Amino acid sequence: MAIFTQRSNPLFTIILLALSAYAFYATWGISLIDGTLGHMLAIRGAKIPLIPGTHEPLRLHFTGIPPIDYWYTIMVLFFWEAVDGSHPATSLTGIYFLGQLVAVWTLIYVEGNRISNQGLTVAKTLLWTLLMQNLTLACFGPIYFVIHLAVSPMLSSSSSTKESPTKLSNATKYLQYLPLSITLGYIVPSIFIGLPAPTIQSYASQQAAIAVWTPFPAWVALFQVLLTWCDSKLSSSSTVGRSETSKAYQAALRRVYIFAITGSAFIHIGTITTSMSTVLFPAVYSPIIRSEFAPAHLLFPDNASVDTIGAGVLTFMQWDQWIGYTAVLAWALKLLWEVRAFAGAAFVTRVWQVLETVGTTLLLGPGSAAVLLIWKRDETAWAGEQRPEKATGGF
């Protein structure tokens, strides 16, 4: 009996695509309406472009390739007031988003590495992560999830008795170095863009740091190639049975999930604690910080016209997160429900799983909640828990 059910559900597909369509309006559309994009283009097109809030020149050249340099300049303008401290709410929201994306990116890389997904569109992780990084998780995440549900065989490579030890060994090596690659290619560059100018780095170097950070998926991929290549050259090959290789794969995947949950939860708890402390201990903060870090201000976009790029970026990131997290959690729940052990679950059971996910999101963050759902799916598949062949309705 198959471990997974058939995935076709037009309603679920429509919901995800509707989220993507609305995301284009809620992010790029509102940024055009509220003046954020207008402010950026005006600075970029000025006779002497200056960094917002300074008299320092805006860098217009990074690589010597005009289209890439133009985009990097736009990214510098987009993120500058999120990293320079002038807009505390935007800065804190950006830090939170970076933390949750550790978990989201990890899941995308894990799915691309599954043996059953090799050769499929969802295995092109560099393409998908570049799209989500540069053009928003909210816009392209749901599209990825729809394609994943449509084409992925959904079978965990570690539970398949048909996969060769060699394939499992290669997949295991990929997972063993994935946390380090994400740390070096994503987390470290994220730290560098936040180092203040001009006290720690120059204005020019901070702009360069943003430009280097922008295509971070390429650096993660590069570190993966280098680390796995070094492993192949330094480690001795030995013949290992399928059972042992499968156990090694499962252990490596669990470590990857722990890494993702730790990074996501740490930032979530820190951000929530900081925001709630403005309510519980208001005397500790200045009136401006109390207002900026107030839970409602951090959570809910107001879509009002803005006078600064930083204020507009806050609204942009809030919509990007609301829609992006909704999509990734819906996708993760759908994958869990495809396991035979849950496919025939009663409606009340599924409602409870949704409520459990909401609770986990509140405690550990949406990124951690999504990882825990996928982890639960894998553990259930590995255990071989099965339900009757015919699944009930629902998502």
What is d(CA 225, CA 82) in angstroms, rounded to the nearest whole number? 32
pTM of the model: 0.91
Query: How is residue 285 annotated by DSSP?
Result: S
- Give the Cα separation of 154 and 145 in Å (integer): 12
Q: Which amino acid is at 363?
A: L
Let me know if residue 343 belongs to a domain.
no
Let me know if residue 251 belongs to a domain: yes
Residue by residue, DSSP assigns 13-50 as HHHHHHHHHHHHIIIIIHHHHTTHHHHHHHHHTSSS-B
Instruction: Compute the distance between CA of residue 171 and CA of residue 110 in angstroms, rounded to an integer.
Output: 9
377 belongs to a structural domain: no
Bridge partners of residue 50, in order along the sequence: 57
- Quick check: is 89 in a domain? yes
Q: Mean of the per-residue pLDDT values for the chain?
A: 90
Asked if the model's pLDDT at residue 167 lies above 90, the reply is: no
Residue type, 370: A
Name the pLDDT band for 161 (thresholds 50, 70, 90): very low
Model pLDDT for residues 57-108, shown as the tens digit of each residue: 999 999 999 999 999 999 999 999 999 999 999 999 999 999 999 999 999 9
Residues in the chain: 395
d(CA 189, CA 183): 9
Domain-located, residue 88:
yes
> How many separate domains does the chain show?
1
Q: Return the pLDDT at 8.
A: 54
Reported as a single tens digit per residue, the pLDDT across 248-262 is 899 999 999 999 999
Cα separation of the two ends of the chain:
21
Q: Is the dihedral of CA 336, 342, 344, 347 positive or negative?
A: negative
Q: What percent of the chain clears pLDDT 70, i.e. is strictly above it?
A: 89
pLDDT of 244 reads: 81
Tell me whether residue 355 is exposed, middle or buried, using C-beta atoms within 10 angstroms of its C-beta: 0 to 12, 13 to 18, 19 or more: exposed
239, part of any domain: yes
Q: Which of 103, 113, 183, 179 is nearest to 137 (CA)?
A: 103
- One-letter identity of residue 334: K
Give the residue-averaged pLDDT of 214-229: 96
| Cis peptide bond prior to 198, omega within 30° of 0 | yes
Residue of 172, 177, 174, 155 lying closest to 245 (CA atoms): 172
Question: Is residue 29 one of the residues assigned to a domain?
Answer: yes
pLDDT at 237: 62
Which among 129, 128, 146 has a CA at the least distance from the CA of 15?
146
DSSP character at residue 4: B
What own/partner pairs with CB < 8 Å and gap ≥ 24 does 145-150 have?
A: 145/16, 145/327, 145/328, 145/330, 145/331, 146/13, 146/16, 146/17, 147/121, 147/122, 148/111, 148/122, 148/331, 149/7, 149/12, 149/13, 149/331, 149/334, 149/335, 150/7, 150/8, 150/13
Per-residue pLDDT, averaged over 303-324, amounts to 96
Is residue 274 in a domain? Answer: yes
Instruction: Please give the pLDDT value at position 393.
Output: 38
Parent domain of 204: 10-334
Nearest alpha carbon to residue 102 among 191, 207, 193: 191
- In DSSP terms, 57 is beta-bridged to 50
